[in-house]
Amino acid sequence: MSRDPIPAFELHVVPAGEQAYQLALWQRAIPTNGRPGAPAHHLVTLGGLPLQVGLDQILATLRREGYRASVLSSGQRQPLPLSEEAGVRLGLLFLALKPLTKVSRMERIAVGLRSMPDEEAYYWFSKCVAARGRGHAQRALRILLAGE
């Protein structure tokens, strides 16, 4: 499991039918100066075809966090705490894949994110979730990674 005393992110399995599910990523504010952080806030939910395309990368991230693949089931009720690095990478994956319908483009983006250095992933994550310009940043990231 995540080794951080207060996990930076949480992954929630959201039932979406009898055997289906979606994944919702939540980010938590880290406490500073002895004050508690703000409550977790929802970043993005991924389901359907984009989830299927990104599933290998999601499972690899969860294994690095110490989870078994079986935690992703419609019966999972407890959120899965994630480290900052895992949350940033999953957040980028979810944000980049969510609006897409073309599988080949999703696959290129997933490959590009997997090979992205940590510093670059943190940079793009900060741009893609910022209050101003996040839509433009997400589009720019998709264009960069899809090679278009």
Q: Is the pLDDT of residue 90 over 90?
A: yes
What confidence category does residue 2 fall into, taking pLDDT thresholds of 50, 70 and 90?
A: very low
Q: Is the pLDDT of residue 6 over 80?
A: no
What confidence category does residue 106 fall into, taking pLDDT thresholds of 50, 70 and 90?
A: very high
> Computed from CA positions of residues 127, 144, 122, 129, in that sequence, does the dihedral angle turn out positive or negative?
positive
Residues 5-13 have a mean pLDDT of: 85
pLDDT number for residue 26: 95
pLDDT number for residue 20: 85
Residues facing 44 on adjacent strands:
25
- Rounded CA separation 137/128 (Å): 5
Q: Is the pLDDT of residue 48 over 90?
A: yes
pTM to 2 decimals?
0.88
Least confident of 2-16, 50-64, 77-91: 2-16
pLDDT number for residue 4: 47
> Do 124 and 92 form a contact (C-beta atoms < 8 A)?
yes
Quick one: tokens of 106? 């999703």
What confidence category does residue 16 fall into, taking pLDDT thresholds of 50, 70 and 90?
A: confident
pLDDT number for residue 15: 86
- Rounded CA separation 87/135 (Å): 19
- Rounded CA separation 114/47 (Å): 19
